[in-house]
With several copies, the nearest count.
Chain A
Amino acid sequence: MKVDIQDVPFDPCAATRDYESALPKGKHGGIVTFVGTMRDFNDGHDVSSMFLDHYPGMTERHILGVMEEAARLSNIMDAYVVHRVGDIKPSEPIVLVAVWAAHRADAFDACRYIINYLKERAPFWKRETTPQGKRWVEHNTADPAVEAIGRPTRFA
């Protein structure tokens, strides 16, 4: 398992493929990836660019901690996270979470767990540039499934 924090744009496809090239071939049956991209609007404002602050060291430690929890809770083979920091433009990828597993249910569960708890714990802060000026984002959109362990999915 690995975390990359970087201040230059990345290609989620290439990143996933490069990481996968080092994994054993023919062993995993499913890969689930989540890619979060920068939108050009948020809370009703147009957003032209974003700066992403972070706490070097603490960031990596807490993302790896979340990945290890996911690996304890499910039967996954590997996981890889890439997260941008610094200046980001609309439609650029911000975060990639890729999970490899023998069975897809584990890959889905672990990928969703990792992105939900990364958003809850990893020390990143977004500052958006809007027509009204710069502003720190004060809260993230929560996944309803993160509110309580065991909450039903909205549909199977």
Chain B
Amino acid sequence: MSVKIRYFASMRDRMGKAEDTVVLEGGSMTVANLWKKISGQSLPSNTLIAVNMEYTDGSAVVKNGDEVAFFPPVTGG
């Protein structure tokens, strides 16, 4: 399956890129497993996760064509 990954703010700085498209074996996987595959690290604490622009957590299941974003707590307004 193919998944689009996006990073914002300090997470973009940490990863050294704004986005990435990754191709993975299988038809689905949890966000937590996806993160391990792409980074080999544990997810920094306080990281927020959105799948297809809706907030979720590491247990969410990602499927082919999904957009997954990782970013720090929001500070707008």
| Interface size in chain B (residues, C-beta < 8 A) | 17
Interface: A119 (CB within 8 A) = yes
Nearest chain B residue, comparing its CB with the CB of A30: B77
Chain B residues lying within 8 Å of A52, measured Cβ to Cβ, are 76
Which of chain B's residues 14-46 have a Cβ closer than 8 Å to chain A?
none
Chain A residues lying within 8 Å of B69, measured Cβ to Cβ, are 55, 58, 123
* 0/1 interface trace, chain A 116-139, chain B, CB 8 Å (1 if under): 001111111111000000001111
Interface: A79 (CB within 8 A) = no
B residues neighboring A (CB under 8 Å): 6, 8-10, 12-13, 50, 53, 55, 69, 71-77
Task: Rank and list the top 7 A-B pairs by shortest CB-CB distance, nearest first.
Answer: A124-B76, A125-B9, A119-B77, A58-B53, A136-B10, A137-B75, A126-B75
Which of chain A's residues 20-54 have a Cβ closer than 8 Å to chain B?
36, 52-54
| Interface size in chain A (residues, C-beta < 8 A) | 28
- Count of A-B residue pairs with CB < 8 Å: 74
Query: When the two chains form their complex, are residues A94 and B77 in contact, meaning their CB atoms are under 8 A apart?
Result: yes
Nearest chain B residue, comparing its CB with the CB of A58: B53
Query: When the two chains form their complex, are residues B76 and A126 in contact, meaning their CB atoms are under 8 A apart?
Result: yes
Partner of B75, one of A57, A83, A140: A140
Query: When the two chains form their complex, are residues B76 and A55 in contact, meaning their CB atoms are under 8 A apart?
Result: no
- What is the distance, in angstroms, from B19's C-beta to the closest C-beta of chain A? 11
- What is the distance, in angstroms, from B17's C-beta to the closest C-beta of chain A? 14
- What is the distance, in angstroms, from A58's C-beta to the closest C-beta of chain B? 4
